[in-house]
Amino acid sequence: MTPAIKTERLRLYAPYHRTFDIERQVDWLNDKQVVKYSEQRHHQHTWDTQWKYLCSFDHVSSHIWEISHDYAGRHGRYDYPIGTITVYRDLVNKAADIGLMIGNREVWGSGYGCEAWEAVMGFLFADNVQKIEAGTVSGNDAMLKIMLKSGMVPEGIRRNRIIIDGTPRDVLLMGKIK
């Protein structure tokens, strides 16, 4: 079972938590700016396709969390969804691959992505993972900044692997060992 993770400003919830907002995720996945560097840009997403994706995490060692900002407003505290973070685990080799989507463009640049990323890395290293991996498309400077700030180091490049707006782009491979 995927546990909730709390940070100073964020709450990360598993799919069946009461605040998990599938409709909002579908909106993000269909926003061309949000998925500019993601292979999700090739798909039209619906509530059903997202639900099917979420269900794929049932009874497996991988995880998905909805990232929510712990917001204190004049009517009290509540969680405001801002993105998702996924982990695909390789239990045999004690490795994990992380992916992040901050779908709420209003919070881009706030540091929430890095805060969630580092919290999940901490959870994984405490949960018997020895190596964390991730990749990003060249030009996705925000994601590369998160990876570097969290202590990940370059491990390789897949040259001209992704085509964005007609231009071949490299995929930068990053990793961190416990």
Q: How confident is the model at residue 78 (pLDDT cuts 50, 70, 90)?
A: low
**Helix, strand, coil share of the chain (percent; to 5):** 25, 40, 35
Domain-located, residue 170: no
Domain-located, residue 138: no
Q: What is the pLDDT of residue 18?
A: 58
Q: What is the pLDDT of residue 75?
A: 67
Phi, psi of 46 (to 5 degrees): -135, 170
Number of Cβ within a 10 Å radius of residue 133: 16
Domain-located, residue 161: no
The chain-wide mean pLDDT, for the chain, equals 91
pLDDT at 70 over 80: no
85 CB-near residues (< 8 Å, 6+ apart): 12, 64, 65, 67, 98, 99, 100, 101, 116, 117, 120
Q: How confident is the model at residue 51 (pLDDT cuts 50, 70, 90)?
A: confident
Output 111 or 14, whichever has higher pLDDT: 111
Q: pLDDT tens, 140-159? A: 999 999 999 999 999 999 99
Domain-located, residue 75: yes
Q: Is the Cβ–Cβ distance between 117 and 132 less than 8 Å?
A: no
Strand pairing category for 153-164 and 131-137: unpaired
Q: How many domains does the chain have?
A: 1
Domain extent for 90:
5-132
72 CB-near residues (< 8 Å, 6+ apart): none
11-15, 62-66, 124-128, 157-161: lowest mean pLDDT where?
11-15
- CATH number of the structural domain spanning residue 101: 3.40.630.30
C-alpha 41/C-alpha 29 separation (Å) is 7
Domain-located, residue 44: yes
Domain-located, residue 25: yes
Strand pairing category for 63-73 and 95-102: unpaired
* Predicted TM-score (pTM) of this structure: 0.89
Domain-located, residue 31: yes
- Taking residues 173-178, what's their average pLDDT? 98
Longest Cα pair distance anywhere in the chain, in angstroms? 51
Q: What is the pLDDT of residue 17?
A: 60
Domain-located, residue 156: no
